[in-house]
Structure formats: structure tokens, C-alpha cells
Amino acid sequence: MTPNFLPQFRSPLHEPRTAVVLGRWLGAALLVCFLTGLVSHALQDPPGRLTPYLQSRPVNGYRVTQGLHVISGLAAVPLLGAKLWTVYPRLFEWPPVRNAAHALERLGIFVLVATMLTELFTGLLDTLQWYPWPFPFRQTHFWLGWLATGGLLVHAAAKGPLIVRHWRRPAAGLPQRRAFLAAVTAAVGAVTLTTAGRTVPFLRRLDLLAARRPDIGPQGLPVNRTAAQAGTVTVPADWQLRVDGPHPYRLSLPELHQLPQYEVELPIACVEGWSASARWTGVRVADLLVRAGAPAGSGLRVTSLEVEGPYRVTQMPAEYAVDPLTLLALRVNGEVLAADHGFPARIIAPNRPGVLQTKWVARLEVI
């Protein structure tokens, strides 16, 4: 018997079949989100042992995985809401703790729900580039992802018998359940359609909730961090690209424009949740390295004019450096780079997170 100072729940939907159906959908979304998150983490900050496996193809690889990451994470928000609503009467279970095993199970649920809510919330705020907390976003998001996924697996295992029992559709359907699941599906569909346009071009016009539309910005391309935000508005009039290697040299901007120019169509795929393709023109990074006498298999370090910032210095593994599509770009969509897109020169490479497409390049170093 539930004591009467606790709320009474009358909806027939607080039951295992509804919880199992929602759990399946939520589980699928979280699995996609977790795996694409791992890919993103590995590409952004490759641990040494992964470096030999990094690939510069497919060209749109990172765009697809980061797009799926954001889409599945956003879809998980209404799914988690519906799932928690279905099961929350269990929070009022009486007696609150029956025995040690039961206490442990409740503790597990608490950790699972807390990590998931925090994970989805921090991810959502990241797409708005809003970090109202003292901890580093990326590392926290990464480790919480492991905790939430681990918690999810333990939860699914603990509920195994119940899940198995309610896996198949029961012979007598519950009309309220059908209506509820249809409403949840509609909510997921609405969230996806109104946000996916930040990555998927043909949904662009429906992109009502997106933080940034991929076609708004100077030269038809959004900006993540403007020149003013990065404190690099003043490019010296006598700017020269400095290339360090066995045969170091410097090139002025007119000299760079005189070298063979190549044109590539490549996306900026930003980890803050948007991507957009553009036409870039510039000098092949591979050519610049050869000219510096770089031995085959060299990677490079790129330093920006930016005074300080987490992406002032980035490293590029050899796989990207030799790719003919990897440019030191001087133009975008037919125009000289705007200050916000990295004038006088920026890096653009295939299958790379946007954060590593270094703007306002000052120096390349063979490593």
C-alpha cells in the first residue's frame, strides 16, 4: 500500500511496455550519439596511437558524424522527457529502500539520470556557445558520455528480464499508449526538422531553432569566432607566411598568390553544431612542405596570428598534409578571405573538425 501523503498516479501509461518502447528509441539515439562523439573526440584530439589510422577521406566524414551527433542528441531530449515521465512514479516507491540490492539499484538510476540530463544540457548549450560553468566543456562532456553509456548498459542489464517480457507488442493494444507514442514521435520529428538544417542543406529553410544558419555570415559562410573575438584584427601590412623546416623560407601575400592555385569544395564542420560547404582557393599545403624540404611522412604545426586562444596552435598529421585537397586558402567563394574567415590565409582540409581549420595563419612548421 502506498501511504496517502504520496501522490497517486492514475495514467495507465506508467507501465513497462511504454517504458520499453521508449527505452529502445532512446537507447538507439544515445548509442548513435555516443559513437559519433567518440569519432569526434578522436579526430579533434587524436591520441598518439590513433594518429596512423586517421584518414582524410571521406571528405565529408566529419560533417556526417558531427551532424548525426547533434541530431541524435537533440532527438534524445524529448525521448528522455517521455521516458522519465513514464517511469517517474517509481521515485515515490514505498518503502523507499527495501534492501541493499534495491538501494544500489536506486543509486544506479540516480547516477544514470543525473549524468544523462547533464550530458544533454551541456551539449545543448555548446551548440549555443554558452559555457556558464567553471569546468572545461569538452573533457567533461567526454567523460560524462562514458558514465552515462556505462550506466545505461548496467540499467538495461538489470532490467533485462522485464525488457524481454515486454519486447513484443502485446495482443491487446492500449489506445492511450498508441496516442502517446505518436505524440512523442511527432515531438522528435519536429525537433529534428527544425534543427537539422544547420547541417543538412535541404532542411535549411526549416531551421527555426538552430543557433546558426549555415548560409548566414560574411561570404555566405557562418563564423564561429570572429577576428574581433580572437583579437587579431590587425594583420601587419608586411605580413609574411613563415615556413620552418629543413629549408625555412618566408612568402609575402603577393608571392603566395603567384604560386599554383587550386580550388576545392570543402565544408567547415563545426563541433558547436553546424556545418557548411564552401569553395576554397589557395596553395597546396603539400607543395609548401616540399619547398621547405620536408621528408615524406611529415606532419606540421600551424600557428595563428591570434594572440591567445585554445586553437591558436594546431597540429596536422601527415595523412592530411599530403592530401591534395588540403590548402592554405587565400580565397573563399571567389573572394579574398574576409577578416572573420581568416585573412590573410587559413587552413582548410577534408574530414577535419572545424576547430582545426586554423584561421589567420602566421607560421607552418614541419614536424
CB-based closest residue to ligand MTE = 354
User: Residues with Cβ < 8 Å from 124, sequence gap 6 or more?
Assistant: 73, 74, 77
Nearer to ligand MTE, 262 or 311 (CB): 311
By CB under 6 A, the count of residues binding ligand MTE is 22
C-alpha cell belonging to residue 241: 607566411
Position 357 contacts ligand MTE (CB under 6 A): yes
Position 224 contacts Mo ion (CB under 5 A): yes
Distances (CA, A) of 204 to 129, 185, 195, 224, 341: 20, 21, 9, 18, 21
Position 351 contacts Mo ion (CB under 5 A): no
Binding mask 287-326 for ligand MTE (x = CB under 6 A): -----------------x-x--x-xx--------------
Closest C-alpha among 35, 18, 40, 22 to residue 273: 40
Name the amino acid, one letter, at 57: R
Contact stretch for ligand MTE (CB under 6 A) within 186-194, 252-260, 293-301, 355-363: 355-363
Nearer to ligand MTE, 124 or 193 (CB): 124
Nearer to ligand MTE, 82 or 365 (CB): 365
Contact stretch for Mo ion (CB under 5 A) within 156-164, 215-223, 272-280, 357-365: 272-280
Position 360 contacts ligand MTE (CB under 6 A): yes
Where does this chain bind ligand MTE (CB under 6 A)? 221-225, 230, 268, 270, 304, 306, 309, 311-312, 340-342, 354-355, 357-360
